[in-house]
Amino acid sequence: MKKTITAIVLSTLTAGSIGLAGSPSTNCIDKKEADVAWKSVDKFKEDLLAKEPGMTIKKVKKLAKYGCYEVYGKDKDGKGFECFYNPETGEKKSCDEE
């Protein structure tokens, strides 16, 4: 019985952590601001490229649920990344290398 419970707990924890892949660990902005504080995607890209010379951006997705822009691209050294940014300030909230 203990082994069955342990197996269920471990599988639940593993499944939960897999479900979090591809989403930020926290909201980037307060939920109340989510619809009013967003920069346009074009302005956001322009500002981000100015802050990070040599970066290339493949894709930007608006994640309204989390209040973030999700950005896929390559850094100046050509390493791929997936990062989450505050859409108002451009502050990087979390980042994973691909």
Q: What is the pLDDT of residue 85?
A: 92
User: How many structural domains is the chain composed of?
Assistant: 1
Cα–chain-centroid distance for residue 53? Answer: 20
Q: Which domain holds residue 86?
A: 24-97
Q: In angstroms, rounded to a whole number, what is the distance separating the alpha carbons of residues 31 and 12?
A: 28
Max Cα distance, the chain (Å):
59
Answer whether residue 42 is part of any domain. Answer: yes
Rounded CA Rg of the chain: 17
pLDDT tens-digit series, residues 23-59: 676 677 765 555 556 889 999 999 999 999 999 999 9
The pLDDT, as a whole number, for residue 22 is 62
Q: Which pTM value belongs to this model? A: 0.68
Tens digit of each residue's pLDDT (9 = 90 or more) over 62-88: 988 888 899 999 999 999 999 999 888
More confident residue, 4 or 26: 26
What is the C-alpha separation between 79 and 61, in angstroms, rounded? 19
- Whether 66 and 23 have beta carbons less than 8 Å apart is answered as yes
Assigned domain for 48 exists:
yes
